[in-house]
Amino acid sequence: MRNRTMVLGLVAALTLPLLGGTPADVAAHAQTPQQAQPEGRVGDAVVERVSGADRVGTSIAVSQLLHPETATAVVLARSDDFADALVGAPLAAQLGGPILLTAPGGLSPGVAEEVDRLEPAEVVLLGGESALSAEVEAGLGDRPVRRVVGADRFATAAAVAAELPASARVYLATGADFPDALAAAPPAAAEGAPILLTTRDALPPATSAAIQARPEAEEIVVLGGHGVVGEAVAAAAADGRALRRLGGSTRFETAAAVYDLGVAGGLDPTRLWLATGLDFPDALAAGPAIAALGETLLLVDGRDLCGVAPVVERLQANRDRLTSIRLLGGAGVISADAVDQLAAAADPDTVCKRLPRGGTTLFPDFRMIAYYGSSASPRLGVLGEGTPDEAAQRLLRQAAPYDSAERPILPAFEFIATVAQRAPGADGLYSTRIPIADILPYLEAARRIDAYLFLDFQPGRGDFPTQVRAYEELLREPDVGVALDPEWRMGPGQVPGETIGAVEAAEVNEVSAYLADLVDRHDLPEKLLVVHQFTAAMVRDRDQISDRPGLAVTFHIDGFGSRAAKRSKYDQLAVGPPFHNGLKLFYDEDIDIFAPHEAMAFDPTPDLITYQ
């Protein structure tokens, strides 16, 4: 109960100086914001947009919403990078002012006007002159200015922590990316708790010292999974204190876990703010305001508000209680169709047919990292080693280095649904079908980590269209695609393993027409169609293969061997738009397997990277 009491008390204490007035004044400002534009309603909830012409303008709009008259202080952060500004929300809340974003080389004109309007007693700059130049400081005129700065982002976060009062918690996030720290801004600011930064594998000395300087902190809250803050780092940070990890398989799941912690501590789930989780400025600027009002924040994929499962779950859980939803940023970051999308997301009877990690487009919205194999035998690939859930966790670790804010990962299972055989079998086709019942545990495991699944077909003397249609029950799902493996497409008299097979463009087009029709009839998101290849002869008349609406047709360049041989093969077979490229990496057969950053250096950069 101690933390809940602290949060409630601090929300009340912070709100009055921020808004200037009685609790009635606070409520009035919350209900009639000066810079929020009405967009519609979702049930009883009023949907409003708080935005400016750009990220700087949005920070000004948030400031005007919460500070209609003056503010005791202003915190300035650079608009083009998150490093120093990431931890600024608790400081701005403590000082009773907004965070404003400005260009690093000089004070943005709109910011200069907003500072003049607010008449703060001081302006605090986050970072040194490499972050906010001397010209920014000069643009503030005669106002008292000071900087909170350290030697790097970790030391700057520690310097911010030194400005804050005693708190029961310390939040710890990666300094390599922004979403986890952004999600923590409202509860941390409401508690007056610092957000400190770390690397994945080592606790920076400045961070360690900042934690040790807060002996009153009873709990260390680690933000993100083991892929961003390692277990040894978390243990070193706690050093005997209570340790709580809030993490998920995506930035949106982590943000939702932080939201839940804030609600448990007294923040109001009926008044919700939504900010993009794909960039940092809007949520960064709004953190102190959300805390001051005692409200809540979720990070979303603004292109598709119906497509992020943890957001949908919380909208549905509170749909009869929601009174306010505020959208941060313009239509470029949160869709102009937000009201309709939110209405669909909040309705439990509406099925949002979206990709596992949001949206309806695979490429270039995501980079797919896949494990290849089958339940038939672990010798077929890494996916078949251990249980489906064990493979899922290994895949997440393998995929983590590829993740980025600009292009997030979509993990995937490439499951061999039909396995080529040296024996003809009862039907004489030299191919064995895996029952759908045996595939379902892998689909369920993929869904537990918000991953995709695509079925790989090795038809032997059969054909691709017949085999693919046999799995329509799965292919009607929004998170299941197809891979064609011509190596195992045999002609008359040929035997798998003795001959490298081949497929005609017309047969690939028959499959793609069937899949495109499925997508259209069932209102599915973009579906993956992979064509495996490691020789030019494997795909005959490749230039005749059609690009169809609703499909991401991807030529997957296989083959194992030396680095030089793999690069040469990729250069020979890679394609250009509208098609996409894949690259297969072999754990055992490749000579000196490419590291993730090396695989990303292939040109064109692969959209799909599969491990076997």
**129-157 confidence digits (pLDDT tens):** 999 999 999 999 999 999 999 999 999 99
Residue 563, in any domain of the structure = yes
DSSP string, 293-330: HT-EEEEE-TT-TTS-HHHHHHHHHTTTT--EEEEES-
Say whether pLDDT at 10 is over 60: no
CATH number at residue 463: 3.20.20
Place of tokens 């709990």: 219
Q: Would 445 be classed as within a structural domain? A: yes
Of the three residues 105, 130, 149, the one that is the final residue of a domain is 149
Distance CA 609, CA 408 (A): 14
pTM: 0.67
**pLDDT digit string (tens) for 273-314?**
999 998 888 998 999 999 999 999 999 988 888 878 899 999
Nearby residues of 576 by Cβ (< 8 Å), 6 or more positions away: 604
Q: Is the pLDDT of residue 21 over 80?
A: no
The residue among 84, 116, 149 that closes a domain is 149
- What CATH number is attached to the domain comprising 122? 3.40.50
What is the number of domains present in the chain? Answer: 2
Q: Which of 121, 149, 177 is the last residue of a domain?
A: 149
pLDDT in tens, 224-274: 988 899 999 999 999 999 999 999 878 899 999 999 999 999 999 999 999
pLDDT of residue 35: 65
Helix count and strand count (H, E) for the chain: 21, 24
Q: What is the pLDDT of residues 463-516, one digit of tens each?
A: 999 999 999 999 999 999 999 999 999 999 999 999 999 999 999 999 999 999
Q: Give me the percent of the chain exceeding a pLDDT of 90.
A: 83
Residue 318 pLDDT exceeds 80: yes
- In a domain? residue 494: yes
Measured distance CA(337)–CA(307) in Å, rounded: 13
pLDDT at 104 over 80: yes
Residue 472's domain spans which residues? 367-611
Q: In the prediction, which pLDDT does 9 show?
A: 40
- Whether residue 27 is contained in a domain is answered as no
DSSP for 381-403 reads -GGGSS-HHHHHHHHHHHHGGG-
DSSP H/E element including 38: strand 36-42
- Output the six-digit token pair for 605: 């950069």
Tens digit of pLDDT for each residue in 162-215? 999 999 999 999 999 999 999 999 999 999 999 999 999 999 999 999 999 999
Using the predicted structure, report yes or no on whether residue 72 has a pLDDT greater than 60. Answer: yes
Q: What is the DSSP string of 231-269?
A: HHHHHHHHTTSEEEEE--SSHHHHHHHHHHHHHHTT--T
Residue 77 lies in a domain: yes
Is the pLDDT higher at 4 or at 56? 56
- Say how far residue 293 (Cα) sits from the centre of its chain: 26
Place of tokens 């448990």: 264
Position 394 in a domain: yes
Over range 9-24, report the average pLDDT: 37
Residue 605 lies in a domain: yes
434 near 450, Cβ under 8 Å? no
Tell me which DSSP letter residue 72 carries: S
Instruction: Show the tokens assigned to 400.
Output: 């983590």
Indicate if the pLDDT at residue 455 is higher than 50: yes
pLDDT score at 296:
97
